[in-house]
């Protein structure tokens, strides 16, 4: 079994750096059976997920990660469950919005792809 904490940390760094600079480049992380639940709306498949991410109504975005946790999934398939919380700053707004995001990662060769992705803004 790979070190799920190291895999999770590398994934989180890559995902949010890529999201903040070029959301379209995230397409390679998803497969036809992947599912994104974004603020209660569900999208299935890499094409639909990428379309949703690219269509988000902001020009500039920065994720500031507060916490990240990971757990191994089913030992027979090597999946990893990843939970992230943080602050989201869009278009240079002064007040960031808190968010939480959960991923289920599936191993494929020497890398992982996103099977499930759940994103939610957290309003106080």
Q: Taking a C-beta distance cutoff of 8 angstroms, is the pair 88, 99 a contact?
A: yes
Grade residue 1 by pLDDT with cuts at 50, 70 and 90.
Answer: very low
Instruction: Show the domain range for 108.
Output: 4-121
Q: What is the pLDDT of residues 54-81, one digit of tens each?
A: 999 888 999 999 999 999 998 888 999 9
Q: Taking a C-beta distance cutoff of 8 angstroms, is the pair 105, 80 a contact?
A: yes
Grade residue 2 by pLDDT with cuts at 50, 70 and 90.
Answer: low
CATH assignment at residue 11: 3.10.450.50
SS3 81: strand
Q: What is the pLDDT of residue 9?
A: 97
Tally of structural domains, the chain = 1
């Amino acid at each position: 079994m790979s070190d799920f904490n190291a895999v999770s940390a590398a994934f989180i760094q890559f995902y949010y750096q890529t999201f903040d600079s070029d959301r379209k480049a995230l397409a390679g992380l998803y497969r036809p059976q992947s599912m994104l639940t974004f603020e209660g709306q569900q999208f299935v498949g890499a094409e639909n997920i990428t379309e949703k991410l690219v269509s988000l109504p902001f020009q500039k975005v920065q994720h500031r990660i507060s916490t990240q946790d990971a757990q191994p999934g089913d030992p027979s398939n090597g999946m990893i469950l990843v939970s992230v919380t943080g602050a989201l700053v869009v278009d240079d707004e002064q007040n960031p919005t808190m968010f939480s995001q959960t991923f289920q990662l599936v191993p494929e060769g020497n890398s992982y792809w996103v099977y499930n992705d759940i994103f939610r803004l957290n309003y106080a």
